[in-house]
A = this chain, B = another copy of it.
């Protein structure tokens, strides 16, 4: 474990993205999106993935100079064709369209096709906060999750993020996979050779397993809830809604056809759409009531929940977004710790592109 400053990882990532052929503007934005994951403590979605993105370029699955276009629209909606661009570039552009429409008619809703992995869902939702809007962001992803009672991997971890501005309080930012546990948590258990709790995964026969390697051996992640008795059908509903809003509305691939993030897995020979899909929303707070009223009640909501009485052994009740915001402050000041395998990956990229890490 070594700690790197944000600035150092920023310069490195930016130069890698430039080397891949991105414009300066797109490289800057993609770097900000990617590193926001490291700052916020979502280590699985940050610079650790940079080598994966590079491999997608090498496999000719990403277009460094995408012509991102609106292909269909109404006053409050749009479909955007990402032109095979990096999701880190396509998603902020789509969110800007949602925000623009919300300025015009109160809300904006954008479904995206022909994109790639877009980093952390929360970043895009949070773009709405500065505009005094509620932001919503979701994406489909490579199939790793079995619907309740199925042994097939038909859904991704399909995250949903909702960012809600407040007045004096920091914003409410929910950013959650629709599975019991995200894949990143399983990878941590694999590294530590620890068992997974029941309700996270099933093996290839569909039997609940605590062996974290079962996912790689044909098993599947389980929808939020874990099993039927604990509401896994609800997690399955949520992941399905994300898939449908992201891909059936836009014309992207869905379900088992979503392209894999890892370049060594083949693309489906019979795609049902283009690339992966995202869905974004922006709702102007004052499209519903005067801003000052909204903010003062949002503050009161947050204070009420944060100050509620804890169960024994817990020192506080958190508001969604609290841990990530605190981590961001800490890592902005003290740097971002990276694991040895991640550093080695970055060093190999440094060699490949002749860039100093």
Q: Which residues of A contact B (CB under 8 A)?
A: 72, 74-77, 79, 105-107, 109, 111, 147-152, 154, 162, 164, 172, 174, 176-181, 197, 199, 202, 205-207, 224-226, 229-231, 233-238, 240-241, 243-244, 248-251, 254-256, 272-273, 283-285, 287-289, 293-294, 297-298, 300-301, 304-305, 308-312, 314, 316-318, 320
A147-B305, A250-B288 known; A76-B79 Cβ under 8 A: no
Pick from B151, B233, B308: contact of A311, CB under 8 Å: B151
- A153's nearest neighbour on chain B, judged by CB, is B308
Taking a contact as CB atoms under 8 Å apart, the answer to whether A180 and B225 are in contact is: yes
Q: Which residues of B contact A179 (CB under 8 A)?
A: 231
Among A293, A301, A314: residue with most chain B CB under 10 A: A301
Considering the chains assembled together, what is the distance between the CA atoms of A106 and B240 in angstroms? 22
Find out whether the CB atom of B317 lies under 8 angstroms from the CB atom of A174. Answer: no
Smallest Cβ distance from A290 to chain B, in angstroms? 8
Taking a contact as CB atoms under 8 Å apart, the answer to whether A308 and B224 are in contact is no
Query: In the bound complex, how far is the Cα of B318 from the Cα of A256, in angstroms?
Result: 17
Would you call A317 and B147 a contact (CB within 8 A)?
yes
Partner of A199 from B107, B230, B283, B293 at Cβ < 8 Å: B230
Residues of B with C-beta under 8 A to A202: 311
Is there an interface contact between A309 and B152, defined as CB atoms closer than 8 Å? yes
B231 touches A150 (CB 8 A): no
Contacting A249 at CB < 8 Å: which of B177, B294, B312, B317? B294
A-B contact pairs, 22 of them (CB 8 A): A72-B289, A76-B76, A79-B288, A151-B309, A152-B308, A154-B308, A174-B238, A174-B241, A176-B231, A176-B233, A177-B234, A181-B231, A224-B225, A224-B234, A249-B283, A249-B285, A249-B288, A250-B289, A251-B289, A254-B301, A255-B305, A272-B300
Q: A74-B287, A150-B309, A308-B152 are in contact. Are A230 and B105 (CB under 8 A)?
A: no
Judge whether A109 and B111 touch: CB under 8 Å: no
How far is it, in angstroms, between the C-alpha of A244 and the C-alpha of B241 when the chains are bound? 20
Shortest Cβ distance from residue A105 to the other chain B in the assembled complex, whole angstroms: 4
Q: How distant is A80 from chain B, measured CB to nearest CB, in Å? A: 11
| A74-B106, A147-B317 known, 17 other contacts, Cβ within 8 Å | A76-B105, A76-B287, A77-B107, A148-B318, A149-B314, A149-B318, A150-B308, A150-B310, A172-B240, A176-B233, A180-B225, A206-B311, A236-B320, A238-B238, A249-B289, A255-B304, A272-B297
Whether B225 contacts A283 by the Cβ 8 Å rule is no
How far, in whole Å, are A79 and B243 apart by their CA atoms in the complex? 29
Please state if B199 and A254 are interface contacts (CB–CB under 8 Å): no
Contact status of A75 and B75, CB under 8 A, knowing A150-B317, A237-B162: yes
With A77-B287, A317-B150 as contacts: A244 and B207 at CB distance below 8 Å:
no
| Min C-beta distance of A351 to chain B, whole Å | 40
A106, A197, A298, A310: residue with the most chain B Cβ atoms closer than 10 Å = A106
Complex formed: what's the CA distance from A233 to B289 in Å? Answer: 29
In the complex, are the beta carbons of B149 and A316 less than 8 A apart?
A: yes
Residues of B within 8 A of A284 (CB): 74, 77
Query: A98 to nearest B CB, angstroms?
Result: 11
Q: Is the CB of B162 within 8 A of A310?
A: no
